[in-house]
């Protein structure tokens, strides 16, 4: 067992550098947020960014509307919006971490000229993004269109490098200012404000389509993701299939310390070494309308060569009769291995296909091509 652990060390190093919890960006489907008042000015926008996979809760039940948006988060949001294209190379910033959850997004954002560093070698991934920075970043992402805007009362405090972008953001209706015709350029954007701005930006770029009654999907994309990699692939599969997302959320969520496989007494190591402790209860075992799904994609990270065990509860609790199940996983380097077969054995019902392992930076294009190749 210790040999296995040693072998796993090299494979897992990369993954565990990125053990920052990406739940801040995780999609929360079909649940309300306890801290979002339905009557608030941002409630619709929060719902919009959640449903469109742009932002999600900080936990399964909270959004933290007053929390700050960091520069790395905004890079990640726009990277997703751009379809998470493949990137290569490393950034040259002194304060970004190789392999971090935001690494691909920061590299993409800088290479695409959407977000630049501070000029002193720093990117400031954890710095709150200011309102004028958001204007500049979205303006660049939109292709730096020229625009004229009316002046704000505090126009003089807008940085010169942001003035044109603020004009554009105002004229495009993205950022209309605060009380007293103030723009508050250096104030950090709260998560609620970011949601409102992103919705305005998205709907500006996406022509409104006439409302048609939503067709019920017969595809479910169920997944567990501890650090966001599998979630990214799940989102891409949902995008490709039009399927419904269902996140498997442990009732006792895994903290960074819980996931620290280098700590002999951490939760994952204890569970790994004692299979009887791998019975992880989920907040919800069965999605609504379970009977209506014919195709179930089931995603998980590989933990020590097998499916991360928080998926077991979902697999063991549901009847897969008549359903086609396609396992998929992300890992540092291991393949799918026997993970799908072991889950099929645990389920005992359903038609289980071979499945696929993805690298965490797989593009939407590649995921869509894989989905189409299944011919389901
Ligand atoms: C406890 C633990 C065990 C892991 N074991 C393996 C492994 O055996 N092989 C591997 O390639 N990656 C391993 N990894 C890396 C994860 O599979 C990889 O980072 C995955 O993409 C994480 O997915 P997530 O972000 O959806 O949680 C392990 C990670 C953790 C936390």
Confirm or reject: Cβ of 302 under 6 Å from ligand 1. Answer: yes
My answer on whether 237 and 260 are in the same domain is yes
> What share of the chain in percent tops pLDDT 90?
63
184 touches 178 (CB < 8 A): yes
- pLDDT band of 216, cuts 50, 70, 90: low
Helix (H, G, I), strand (E, B) or coil at 27: coil
Domain boundary among 180, 205, 230: 205
CA of 275 to the centre of ligand 1 (A): 17
Q: Ligand 1: distance of its center to the CA of 203 in Å?
A: 36
- The per-residue pLDDT for range 305-344, each reduced to its tens digit, is 999 999 999 999 999 999 999 999 999 999 999 999 999 9
Write out the two tokens for 326.
């396609």
CA-261 nearest atom, ligand 1:
1
The pLDDT mean for the chain works out to 86
Same domain flag for 173 and 33: yes
The predicted structure's pLDDT at residue 24: 33
d(CA 165, CA 132): 8
Report the alpha-carbon distance of residue 229 to residue 245 in Å, rounded.
15
Which protein residue has the closest C-alpha to ligand 1 atom 20? 331
- The answer to whether the beta carbons of residues 52 and 296 sit under 8 Å apart is no
- Give the pLDDT mean for 45-66: 86
Same domain, 39 and 132: yes
Residues 316 and 201 in one domain: no
Whether 308 and 256 map to the same domain: the answer is yes
**pLDDT band for position 206 (cuts 50, 70, 90):** low
Q: What is the CATH number of the domain that holds 295?
A: 3.40.50.360
pLDDT for the residue numbered 14: 35
d(CA 102, CA 13): 16
Return d(Cα 92, Cα 122) in angstroms, integer.
Answer: 9
Predicted pLDDT of residue 364: 93
Q: Is residue 172 scored above 50 in pLDDT?
A: yes
| Residue 70 CB–ligand 1 contact under 6 Å | no
């Amino acid at each position: 067992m210790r040999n296995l652990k040693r072998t796993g060390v090299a494979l897992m190093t990369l993954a565990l550098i990125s053990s920052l919890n990406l739940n801040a960006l995780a999609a929360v489907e079909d649940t309300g947020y306890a801290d979002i008042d339905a009557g608030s000015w941002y409630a619709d926008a929060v719902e919009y960014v959640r449903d469109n996979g742009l932002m999600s809760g900080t936990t399964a039940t909270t959004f933290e509307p007053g929390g700050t948006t960091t520069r790395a988060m905004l890079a990640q949001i726009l990277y997703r919006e751009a379809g998470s294209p493949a990137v290569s190379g490393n950034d040259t910033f002194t304060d970004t971490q190789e392999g971090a959850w935001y690494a691909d997004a920061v590299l993409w954002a800088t290479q695409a000229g959407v977000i630049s560093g501070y000029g002193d070698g720093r990117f400031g991934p954890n710095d709150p993004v200011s309102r004028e920075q958001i204007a500049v970043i979205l303006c660049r992402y939109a292709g730096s269109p020229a625009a004229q805007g009316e002046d704000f009362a505090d126009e003089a405090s807008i940085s010169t490098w942001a003035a044109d972008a603020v004009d554009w953001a105002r004229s495009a209706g993205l950022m209309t200012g605060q009380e007293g015709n103030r723009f508050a350029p250096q104030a950090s954007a709260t998560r609620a404000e970011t949601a409102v701005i992103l919705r305005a930006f998205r709907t500006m770029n996406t022509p409104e389509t006439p409302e048609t009654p939503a067709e019920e999907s017969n595809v479910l994309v169920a997944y567990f993701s501890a650090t966001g990699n599998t979630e990214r692939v799940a989102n891409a599969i949902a995008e490709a299939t039009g399927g419904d997302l269902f996140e498997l959320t442990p009732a006792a969520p895994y903290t960074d310390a819980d996931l620290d496989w280098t700590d002999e007494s951490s939760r994952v190591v204890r569970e790994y070494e004692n299979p009887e402790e791998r019975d992880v209860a989920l907040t919800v075992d069965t999605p609504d309308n379970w009977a209506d799904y014919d195709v179930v994609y089931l995603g998980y990270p590989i933990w020590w060569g097998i499916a991360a065990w928080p998926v077991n509860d979902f697999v063991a609790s549901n009847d897969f009769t008549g359903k086609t199940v396609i396992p998929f996983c992300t890992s540092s380097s291991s393949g799918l291995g026997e993970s799908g077969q072991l889950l099929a054995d645990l389920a005992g019902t359903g038609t289980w296909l071979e499945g696929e392992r993805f690298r965490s930076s797989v593009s939407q294009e590649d995921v869509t091509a894989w989905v189409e190749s299944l011919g389901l």
